Chain A
Amino acid sequence: MAASAVIDIKGLSKIYGSGGKSLVALDKLTLQVEPGEIFGYLGPNGAGKTTTIRVLLDLIRPSSGSATIFGMDARQQSVAIHQRIGFLPGELNLWQGRSGAQVIHYVASVRGGVKSIVKQAEELAARLKLDTSKKVRDLSSGNKRKLGLVIAMMHSPDLLILDEPTSGLDPLVQQTFHELMNEYRDKGKTVFLSSHVLSEVQAICDRVGILRDGDLKAVQSVDALTNVKFRWVHVQFRDDVPAEVAQGLRGLAAVSEFNADGCHARMRLQGDFDPLLRTIAAGYVEQLHVEEPTLEDIFLAYYSGGGEDA
């Protein structure tokens, strides 16, 4: 399996600094990304996602371990690898005084085959509703992100490496982005994207790697991750939370961490809504609010006993 992996990372560590001030950004990371999959690299800020990507791109060098892409060493054969990849950094900065079209032309000229690449860039820009005639300094952060996506995808790379790709994009463009990713997968190409947004990863990824403090905690399918998923439910009653409702909710197997404060109740729900709805119907419900768990919640659920069965 590993032999055919598009990305094959083995025992990769990255330690910044030395002595007492050293920081372990990646700790013996081992990971494979298979051809034709969209792999979500999930973790809170500072987990080591960007560090992994920067090692893959040979921007930083590992302290130990190795990484190959398309079977080529990420360090020794970086130029050949870069010919086949597209990259969008998490914090995108481009040449401020150049227009989008000029930046596209520059990147295309470095890659070679300017005409066909620029044509594809124009098509992508149209789909993302990006005006490439504007100078980079005049683009909003969302439009800069679009330009970054165009640059990453315009040469139809075999592998896309995207660091927080939808950060700053409006929902409509995010939808277009999801479509583009699905089209990519349909063409048999591979995407490695980092994110700290669970819903984004769920929407488009096939498999997910969960990283925390430089340590890869789990690699699993999105379905398995969804099983971990729960919701926070907030119920606002007209009067104080009725005693029988509170008692009923506490007794539900799917409800935990129940907390009542005046007319407001908050609980964690893992499972179907029906038993909960029937129980709260005994009171007069003014508002019902369902909150998706944060990535941190998922981590806590996953690593503090909740695990995959939680």
Chain B
Amino acid sequence: MTGAVFIETFKQTWKQMVAWGFGLAALAMMVVLMVPLFDMQDMKSLLENFPPFILAMIGIGSDLEVFATNEGFVAIGFFGKSALIFAVYPVVMGMRITAEEEDTGIMDVLLSLPLSRAKTLVEKFLAYSISIIGVVLLIYLGVGIGASLGNVDLDAGRLTEVTFYLIPLMIFVMAATMLVAAVARRRMVALGVITAFVVASFMLQTIGLAAEGTVAEPLGAVSFFTYYNAGNILREGFIWPHIAGYAALSLLMLAASLYRYERRDVGV
């Protein structure tokens, strides 16, 4: 029956979705509640004396003007860092699409049912994508509740954009994980490769931010995290070419995963 894998996958995932969502929402709420504790202009003066690399490590880069606003503080204080933590979630879900169930032998049972491999993978991909959206919605709720509880004045429009921008980013990470798992077959190998990819991307983003105006700056462009820059989003709103890039690459990786998975042995 169409949608059975999608429904079951979501049923098996919603608890993790809620747990991750609440965890990240609590973190977001905490950052929002910290806003009244700081004088943003004092903070800006203080940070102006920091070396660029330290600012890059914090995730600020040259965005001191943006940072010296309530939204900037939340965007860079939470969203800049949470992206790396949140990226663990799509990696876990991406592993579940093929590698995990292949390693445990569950895929043998599933694929012995009247299901094509492509349909199975696409339904799982969609279910996990929905769970990513669920986590993002809970984060958004956390920011809203934090602002309400702390009576923090935030530009809801811009923070909405920063929050929902996470969706294409995280789906991209999941698609990359799915592709690696489809190619590597073994769970541990796939996990190692995708972890290295995510961590290296984060480091390259940091180097790119720290090396602004130097020959090392273009390195940042290689990182997929670079295209989720909370400061930039606050300034410019949705950067549609970046979102389209994430979406196109995700679709490309999904198609490549299906192509590879369709042609190889399962569970060997």
Report chain A residues within 8 Å CB of B265.
54, 59-61
Shortest CB distance A44–B (Å): 20
Contact digits for B3-34, partner A, Cβ 8 Å, 1 yes 0 no: 01101100010000000000000000000000
Q: Are A89 and B109 in contact (CB under 8 A)?
A: yes
Shortest CB distance A305–B (Å): 37
* B116 within 8 A of partner (CB): yes
Instruction: Give B79-133 interface residues, CB cut-off 8 Å to A.
Output: 104-109, 111-116
Shortest CB distance A56–B (Å): 10
Instruction: Give A101-120 interface residues, CB cut-off 8 Å to B.
Output: 106-107, 109-112
* B267 within 8 A of partner (CB): yes
Q: Are A111 and B113 in contact (CB under 8 A)?
A: yes
Question: Which of these binds chain B: A92-100, A124-132, A171-179?
Answer: A92-100
Q: Are B112 and A110 in contact (CB under 8 A)?
A: no
Please, how many angstroms separate the alpha-carbon atoms of A16 and B105 in the complex? 18
Which of B1, B8, B112, B115 has the most CB atoms of chain A within a 10 A radius of its CB? B112
Q: Are A107 and B113 in contact (CB under 8 A)?
A: yes
* A82 within 8 A of partner (CB): yes
* A252 within 8 A of partner (CB): no
* B266 within 8 A of partner (CB): yes
* B268 within 8 A of partner (CB): yes
Q: Are B109 and A87 in contact (CB under 8 A)?
A: yes
Instruction: Give B239-268 interface residues, CB cut-off 8 Å to A.
Output: 263-268
Please, how many angstroms separate the alpha-carbon atoms of A177 and B133 in the complex? 46
Number of residue pairs across A and B with beta carbons under 8 Å?
A: 74
Q: Are B113 and A110 in contact (CB under 8 A)?
A: yes
Q: Are A82 and B109 also in contact (CB < 8 A) when A59-B267, A95-B12 are?
A: no
Report chain A residues within 8 Å CB of B266.
54, 59-60
Q: Are A60 and B115 in contact (CB under 8 A)?
A: no
Shortest CB distance B11–A (Å): 8
Shortest CB distance B66–A (Å): 44
Q: Which residue on chain A has the smallest CB distance to residue B106? A: A93
Q: Are A93 and B4 also in contact (CB < 8 A) when A57-B112, A60-B265 are?
A: no
Q: Are A58 and B109 also in contact (CB < 8 A) when A79-B116, A110-B4 are?
A: no
Q: Which residue on chain B has the smallest CB distance to residue A85? A: B112
Partner of B104, one of A82, A93, A112, A151: A93
Q: Which residue on chain B has the smallest CB distance to residue A14? A: B265
Please, how many angstroms separate the alpha-carbon atoms of A82 and B113 in the complex? 5
Q: Are B105 and A89 in contact (CB under 8 A)?
A: yes
Q: Are B109 and A110 in contact (CB under 8 A)?
A: no
Q: Are B115 and A79 in contact (CB under 8 A)?
A: yes
Report chain B residues within 8 Å CB of A110.
1, 4-5, 113-115
Shortest CB distance B104–A (Å): 5
Q: Are A82 and B115 in contact (CB under 8 A)?
A: yes
Report chain B residues within 8 Å CB of A60.
265-268
Q: Are B109 and A92 in contact (CB under 8 A)?
A: yes
Q: Are A93 and B105 in contact (CB under 8 A)?
A: yes
Q: Are B12 and A97 in contact (CB under 8 A)?
A: yes
Report chain A residues within 8 Å CB of B115.
79, 82, 110
Report chain B residues within 8 Å CB of A79.
114-116
Shortest CB distance A122–B (Å): 19
Report chain B residues within 8 Å CB of A98.
12
Q: Are A106 and B112 in contact (CB under 8 A)?
A: no
* A80 within 8 A of partner (CB): yes
Please, how many angstroms separate the alpha-carbon atoms of A112 and B265 in the complex? 27
Q: Are B112 and A87 in contact (CB under 8 A)?
A: yes
Q: Are A109 and B109 in contact (CB under 8 A)?
A: no
Please, how many angstroms separate the alpha-carbon atoms of A288 and B114 in the complex? 53
Q: Are A109 and B112 in contact (CB under 8 A)?
A: no
Report chain A residues within 8 Å CB of B113.
82, 107, 110-111
Q: Which residue on chain A has the smallest CB distance to residue B113? A: A110
Please, how many angstroms separate the alpha-carbon atoms of A82 and B109 in the complex? 11
Report chain B residues within 8 Å CB of A111.
1, 113-114
- What are 15 A-B contacts with C-beta separation under 8 Å? A57-B111, A59-B108, A59-B111, A59-B265, A61-B265, A82-B112, A82-B114, A87-B109, A89-B109, A92-B109, A93-B104, A97-B12, A109-B7, A110-B114, A151-B109
Interface contacts beyond A61-B264, A83-B114, A111-B114: sample of 5 additional A-B pairs, CB < 8 Å, sorted by A: A82-B115, A87-B108, A87-B109, A95-B12, A110-B114
